[in-house]
Amino acid sequence: MSEHTALLEVDRLRVTYGGVVAVDDVSLQVPEGTLIGLIGPNGAGKTSLIDALTGYHSPSGGRVLFGGADITRMRSHLRARLGLSRTFQSLELFDDLSVEENVLVAADHIGVLRALGDLLVARTPSRAAADWAIELCGLGDVAKLKPTELSHGRRKLVGVARALARKPRLVLLDEPAAGLDTEESEVLGKRLRELPGAGVTVLLVDHDMGLVLGICDEVRVIDFGRTIAHGTPRQIQEDPAVIAAYLGTQEVAHAG
C-alpha cells in the first residue's frame, strides 16, 4: 500500500497498568484510505491499544502520530477535534431518543436540548454531518425510531453512526460485530467496507474472523501485547504463528 500516506503512525507503544504490561512495544501504520484489521486472543492488549491511541489511557512509552502531528500525550477530546474517533464495546445509546437524535447529539458533542433544537433547522453543520452518518450506515429508514425498536445489528450500526457523526478522518472500531449473527455481521461488513471510499479510514478490532479477513486490506495480529504477524488476510490465514496463537488450522481453512 505504498500509494497511501500513513494517517496514523504508532512507534514502539507501551501500555502498562501497575506492573502489568498490556501493550509491549507495538509499532504500526494505518495508511489513509484503508481498512486495517487488528486481531488477537482475549487479553492480547487490543482494547488497551485502542485506549492509548484515543487518549483514554496514557502510554508509558512510545509515540503516536496522527496526520504527522504528535498526539502521544494529547487529551481525548482534542484528538477527536483532529479527526480521530472511536466506538466502544458497550453500546452507549440514549434509548429515549430517536436514532437521528442519538447521532445528532454525537455530531458535535452538543447537549440533548441543543440537538433537539437542531432537528428543527434543516441544514446546520451538525445536522448535515448527522444525516451523512445515518445515510452511510444505512439507517435512513429507521431514523425516527428509538434504538429499542431496532435489531441488535442495527443498534450496532447506530453506534458506528455516532462515531462517524463528526466526519472523522480515522475511526477506531472496538468489537462492532460482538453479539451479531452471521447475516448481521455481513451487513455490517458491507457498510464498513464503504467507509474508506467516503473519506473515513478504519482500524477495526474484532473477534469475528470472517468479518476481519473478509473486508480488511491488511491485518495485524497481537498476542500478549506484542505484534506476532501482519500482512494481507491471506498471509495472516497462512501464518504459522497466527495459527498457533489464535486461529487454529481448521478455522483458517474455512475463514474468510
- For 236-246, the pLDDT digits (tens) are 988 998 888 76
Spatial distance between the Cα atoms of 60 and 71, rounded to a whole number of angstroms: 14
In sequence order, what are the beta bridge partners of 247? none
For residues 256 and 175, state if they share a domain.
Answer: yes
Structural domain boundaries, residue 122: 89-167
Per the listing, cell 495472516 goes with 236
Q: Is the pTM of this model over 0.85?
A: yes
**Alpha-carbon distances, residue 249 vs 59, 113, 194 (angstroms):** 35, 53, 30
For residues 124 and 200, state if they share a domain.
Answer: no
CATH assignment at residue 214: 3.40.50.300
Number of domains in the chain: 2
Instruction: Identify the burial level of 119 via C-beta atoms within 10 angstroms of its C-beta, where 0-12 means exposed, 13-18 middle and 19 or more buried.
Output: middle
For residues 78 and 93, state if they share a domain.
Answer: no
pLDDT digits (tens, 9 = 90+) for 143-178: 999 999 999 999 999 999 999 998 999 999 999 999
Which of 167, 189, 204 is the C-terminal boundary of a domain? 167
Which of 167, 200, 222 is the C-terminal boundary of a domain? 167
pLDDT above 70 (res 79): yes
